[in-house]
Structure formats: structure tokens, C-alpha cells
Amino acid sequence: MNLTLVIGNKNYSSWSLRPWLAMKQAGIPFIEEQILLQRPETRREILRYSPSGRVPCLIDGALTVFDSLAICEYANERYANEVLWPRDISARARARAIAAEMHSGFVALRTHLPMDIRSRLSDKGAAALEREDVAADIARIQAVWTECLNDGGPMLFGGFSIADAFYAPVITRFVTYGVKLSPLLAAYSENVLMLPAMKQWIAAAAAETDTLDT
């Protein structure tokens, strides 16, 4: 196995975090290639690996996978013995549905509360929450988490899954922007933040010095 995962800045690239975390949690070894974003050479460097011109991108020999959800699916099927989705077919369908919802939705949240792990921006968070679209996105995420966690936890579907990887950047956003959570959701967030791989990513994000225009 000689996998390379191409990612962007750890402080800002929520899309990169998702497959990185999923693969780390599954114990899949890979080489990490980081390309810093918003530099003159960024697009040229990314295009060396990814025909989409975006990160993340997984390279496995002659195969290139350049979408975060597709990377997680491929890694799960090819290298993780399918442990990254729930075994139960109904739970697996629900987990895929909420991961896909995160993958394609919540535009207001992404736009007005971008991932910025190093910062603490509670004032900006409070202002954004006054927007109806941002408040609706956050309410929907909290409803999804609550419904899943009411079945037991500690992760959304018991054990760690791709669904947790897809919502991990949201957890960092809630910390950054001071979004208040119920005790149930706060405990879930803490469980994710305390994963060794998540702690590793956050420490690396804190050590970065680049500042992006978000």
C-alpha cells in the first residue's frame, strides 16, 4: 500500500479534515502531502495531483480520487474492511444520508462561519446566528445529532463512522464561534475532539502561520 492524501491548510480546510480523520481512525497508513491554499502557485500545485483543482485528493497507484466523500467510501471498501459505516443496514443508510446532507448542504453555515480552528470569534458567531439561514443550518445539525445520539452514542452511530468525520469540522466551528450546545451535544463534541487523530490535526492547525481570506 502506498497511499498519498493531498490536503490543504489544517486550520481552514474542512474538506481535507474529513477523509484524513476517517483514514486515521481506521488505521490506514498514508503519506500526507500538504498544499497551502490561496498562494499564487496553489492551483498549479494541486493540478499536479487532482484534475478537479481542489483538495483533498487521494492517490492510490494509478487511481486518483478527488472528492472527500468518494475518498472515504473508497478507503472504507478497499482498506478498512468496511468498518467506517455501521454494520446494520438501516443505521448505515441513515449514516450515509446525514453524511451526504453535510457534503452537499449547509451553505449558510459554510459561508458565514468558515472553519478557523486557531481563532475564537464568539462575537462573529453571535452576529451570524442572527441570520435566519445560519440559525436554520445550526438547528438542523443539532436536530440530526440529537436524533442519532438518542440511540446511545458515544458517536453518532455508536462507534466512529464516516458520518462523524463529516461533522467533525462543524464541531470545530461551534468551538470557534461559541455556539451553545445541549449537554448531550457538548459531550458528543468533546468525544470527537478528544480522538487522538483529531487532537493531532488541531495541534497542527494551531502551529500553522498562514492566514487565509475566508
Q: Is 3 helix (H, G, I), strand (E, B) or coil?
A: strand
Confidence of residue 151 (pLDDT cuts 50, 70, 90): confident
**Whole-model pTM over 0.75:** yes
Confidence of residue 192 (pLDDT cuts 50, 70, 90): very high
Cα Rg of the chain (Å, integer)? 17
pLDDT at position 214: 67
| pLDDT tens digit sequence for 72-126 | 999 999 999 999 999 999 999 999 999 999 999 999 999 999 999 999 999 999 9
Mean pLDDT, to the nearest integer, of 149-177?
Answer: 96
| pLDDT tens digit sequence for 120-147 | 999 999 999 999 999 999 999 999 999 9
Q: Where are the domains of the chain?
A: 3-83, 89-199
Q: Reply yes or no: is the peptide bond before residue 154 cis, omega within 30 of 0.
A: yes
CATH number of 89-199: 1.20.1050.10
The superfamily CATH assigns to domain 3-83 is Glutaredoxin (3.40.30.10)
- Strand order of the β-sheet with 63-65 is 31-34, 3-7, 57-60, 63-65
Classify the phi-psi angles of 61: left when phi > 0, otherwise alpha if psi is within -120 to 50, otherwise beta.
Answer: left
Tell me the average pLDDT of the chain: 96
